[in-house]
Chain A
Amino acid sequence: MSTTTAQRETTGASAAPARRRNRPKRSTILTIGMVAAAAYFLLPLLWLVVASTKTTGDLFSTFGLWFAGENNLFTNIANTFKADDGAFGGWLGNSLLYAVASALGGTFLAALGGYGFAKYRFRGNQAMFMLVLGAMAVPSTALAIPTYLLFSQAGLTDTPWAIILPSMASHPFGLYFMRIYADSAVPDSLIESGRIDGAGDFRIFFQVTGRLLTPALATVMLFMLVQTWNNYFLPLIMLNDPDLYPVTVGLANWQGQASSSGGASGDYIPLVVTGSLVSILPLIIAFLFLQRYWTTGLVSGSVKQ
């Protein structure tokens, strides 16, 4: 009996692909440890799901990490969308608008710029690129305060532009990533042969070489979407009109009402909890379904083609 198993193991090992030959045995202890670590990262989210199904009373009277008797999720969701004359739905729409507009515009700028920095030699190339990189160290307030003052002089505060324009343009990491990607993904010979065929450089970019950047475009766009969707500081200072709030500022506002209104605070707590859950669902779904894209860009080696 034991001989047969041993034999089977040997044949199994030799039949495995060559690159797996040196692969060590899987470790159960390490797996258990890592599952425990993963639990730490998932438990707060599980709590959020559980808490969203509870009434205020159940929140206080039942254990946080398990469901109460009755499922109140849909009532909570309905209440969240009904509260303050349906403000929450508007906030979600605003977040979507700001995130999509900034990500589309920002990715386009970063792609053109990164490609230009990677593939063209001109005076000041290196200096300009380093300037953009250095900008990453500038604190958000150092930038946000003067931007706010300039925008308010131009009458642009309290408009969607106050969020979209700064989010689009001040994203050094996208440019940095596109430059490195374009540098290695676009062969010079491709540009040369396009020129020999008589195409202009922009036509070469839009019709040929730009396509080679697609994985990086998707990555940069996804990260910009997340960044703008999650942004709190900029909309906090730029927007006064609650109708223009993105969901982050709206939720923080509800939280402020929940903790400041003392005895009546109970009404706002389920709204904050359920609103938090609803606001992160699109991102989590996007991350799961677009996994290929963020992993292609970042976890490059694991892509098997």
Chain B
Amino acid sequence: MSTESTAPRAQAALPVGRIGQRGRANKGGKGPRYARTGYLFVAPFMIGFTAMFLVPLAYAAWFSLFREQMIGGNVFVGLDNYTRAFTDPQLIAGLGRVALFFLIQVPLMMVLALFFALALDSALLRLSRTIRLAIFMPYAVPSVVAALMWGFLYGPDFGPLAQLADRIGAAAPDFLGADLMLGSIANIVTWEFTGYNMILLYAALRAIPTELYEAAAVDGAGPWRTAWSIKIPLLRPAIVLCMVFSVIGSFQLFNEPSIMRTLAPNVIVADYTPNLYAYNLAFVGQEYNYAAAVSFVLGFVIMAGSYLFMLATNRRSRS
């Protein structure tokens, strides 16, 4: 495993921080002659992207400015749907819930993923390949199946947790009740995605040149010290990337609560998360226009959240 042979791949594994600083000299097609070829290469993707992404978004932005009325059909109402959304207690409650979810679940998951990645990378571990596979395995399980499975595990009838509690004569906590539901969903999401984040962090770790560790070892740093003082600071871009994915994922929470709704319809109400709310507005209430506005508000919150997050981490790394 020489450093040279892995160098190009190593760069591929370090995603963040390379955008914007790419050297112009690095481009193969120099001069205007090849610009046309460049367009031809990106055209198929960009056409698909425009048709499946930009056009629907523009269309949604447009019809979020209308309201369907019993008499007179679609009426242009300007930003009315947005003012309604910003003061809609159901949407605000949903946003608060996913924000709380984000604050509890994501730090927990990231700490676990980081610890696992460092442990796998530390060479202190036996069975590291098997352990890596086991932790990553849930990523291959569809979130629908994960939610179904955990729903059974939480269940009071034949869930093993309730059975164990029963055996020691205690009452099992009501995992599907109003108090614990958010935590139960957080556990499902942690189960699904810790391995994925671990793999991303582990990939970034493997890309760190080993000379750095050798230098640290010469200076007498043990594996824990190396992890804390060298590996974690170098992992910052990868951690930020994982966090941004997590902001997006948490605020868009849909599949897990939507499956849990079949088990606990009174706990998971139609507006439990903003995405669930938008879905129910559109496909149950047929309020497409307002649903589009709600989705855009959610999109703004996500973008603002990701941006603020990157801004905060950038500032800290500069000072």
Contacts and interface: CB of A to CB of B under 8 A. Distances in A.
Interface stretch (B8-16, B66-74, B99-107): B8-16
Interface string A289-305: 00100001111111111
Contacts of B82: none
A147 interface: yes
B282 A30 contact: no
Given A170-B53, A188-B26, A201-B37, A301 B9 contact: yes
Contacts of B150: 44
Contacts of A216: 12
Contacts of A23: 123
B78 interface: no
B173 interface: no
Contacts of B143: 230, 232
A88 interface: no
Contact of A121 (B29, B122, B213, B252): B29
Interface string B211-223: 0011001000011
B246 interface: no
A300 B13 contact: yes
Interface stretch (A3-11, A69-77, A78-86, A122-130): A122-130
Nearest to A291: B133
A181 interface: yes
Contact of A30 (B124, B140, B298): B124
A300 B144 contact: no
B59 A149 contact: yes
Contact of A37 (B5, B116, B291): B116
Interface stretch (B40-48, B85-93, B311-319): B40-48
Contacts of B11: 180, 183-184
Contacts of B134: 38, 41-42
B283 A237 contact: yes
A218 interface: no
Nearest to A147: B56
Contacts of A108: 44
Interface residues on B, range: 35 or more
Contacts of A233: 254-255, 279
Interface in B128-166: 128, 130-131, 133-146, 148-153, 157-160, 163
Contact of A34 (B119, B299, B302): B119
A176 B283 CA distance: 33
A235 to B, nearest CB: 10
Contact of A188 (B20, B27, B55, B292): B27
A184 B292 contact: no
A247 to B, nearest CB: 8
Which of B152, B194, B254, B298 has the largest number of chain A CB atoms within 10 A?
Answer: B152
Interface in A8-53: 19, 22-28, 30-31, 33-35, 37-38, 40-42, 44-45, 47-48, 51
B207 interface: yes
Contact of A24 (B45, B59, B124, B128): B124
Contacts of A63: 160, 163
A299 B295 contact: no
Nearest to B207: A301
Given A146-B56, A284-B140, A299-B206, 15 more contacts: A23-B123, A38-B134, A44-B150, A45-B141, A115-B41, A119-B38, A139-B252, A139-B278, A146-B57, A180-B18, A183-B26, A276-B148, A280-B142, A286-B140, A299-B199
Interface of A: 19, 22-28, 30-31, 33-35, 37-38, 40-42, 44-45, 47-48, 51, 59-60, 63-65, 108-110, 112-113, 115-117, 119-123, 125-126, 128-130, 132-143, 145-150, 165-166, 168-170, 172, 175-177, 180-181, 183-186, 188, 191-192, 201-202, 205, 215-216, 226, 229-230, 232-233, 237, 248-249, 251-252, 255-256, 258-260, 269, 272-273, 276, 279-280, 283-284, 286-288, 291, 296-305
20 contacts: A22-B214, A60-B158, A113-B42, A120-B35, A141-B252, A142-B278, A142-B296, A169-B45, A169-B49, A170-B52, A176-B15, A191-B28, A205-B41, A216-B12, A226-B140, A229-B142, A232-B255, A252-B262, A279-B142, A284-B141
Interface of B: 1, 5-6, 8-13, 15, 18-20, 22, 24, 26-30, 34-42, 44-46, 48-49, 51-53, 55-57, 59-60, 63, 112, 116, 119, 122-128, 130-131, 133-146, 148-153, 157-160, 163, 191, 194-195, 199-200, 202-203, 205-207, 210, 213-214, 217, 222-223, 248, 251-252, 254-255, 258-259, 262-263, 274-275, 278-279, 282-283, 288, 291-292, 295-296, 298-299, 302-303, 306
